[in-house]
Amino acid sequence: MTLLNAATPQKQSLFCGIPPTLQEELFQTLAESGTVRIERIVSEGHTTAAGEWYDQEWEEWVLLVSGGATLLFESNDAPLDLKPGDHVMIPSRCRHRVERTDPEQKTVWLAVHFCGDIEK
């Protein structure tokens, strides 16, 4: 029997461990190093609360892996509909909100945050 070293790479699935139902969006840090954090976000009909905007001090790149979503940017009247495979780079201080996520299936996002000091 061979014991694996803690430094041995392990395969994982982005879809593993998703609860069958979600009361709230699920945010999980998958990897973090220096000024970069990679996060899995799982939504199920969740949206940003009415009247609220994300206004982050860091840049964020998001990829929609499954499901569907609509983002709204304060600087743009037209909503941005996303389907699996679509990605967008959100500059720092770009006010945005999630207007819609698919209520019929899980919407899985992969987010990469770039910042000087990662907020916890």
Mind listing the pLDDT tens digit for each residue in 60-96?
A: 999 999 999 999 999 888 999 999 999 999 999 999 9
pLDDT value for 5: 55
Q: Where are the domains of the chain?
A: 26-114
Give the pTM.
0.84
pLDDT value for 8: 85
Those residues whose C-beta lies under 8 Å from the C-beta of residue 31, and which sit 6 or more positions away, are 37, 38
Alpha carbons 96 and 50: distance in angstroms, whole number: 12
Ramachandran class of 77: left when φ > 0, alpha when ψ lies in -120 to 50, beta otherwise: alpha
pLDDT digits (tens, 9 = 90+) for 14-39: 999 999 999 999 999 999 998 999 99
In this structure, are residues 47 and 89 in contact, taking their beta carbons and an 8 Å threshold?
no
Which residues are registered as beta bridge partners of 60?
90, 113
CATH number of 26-114: 2.60.120.10
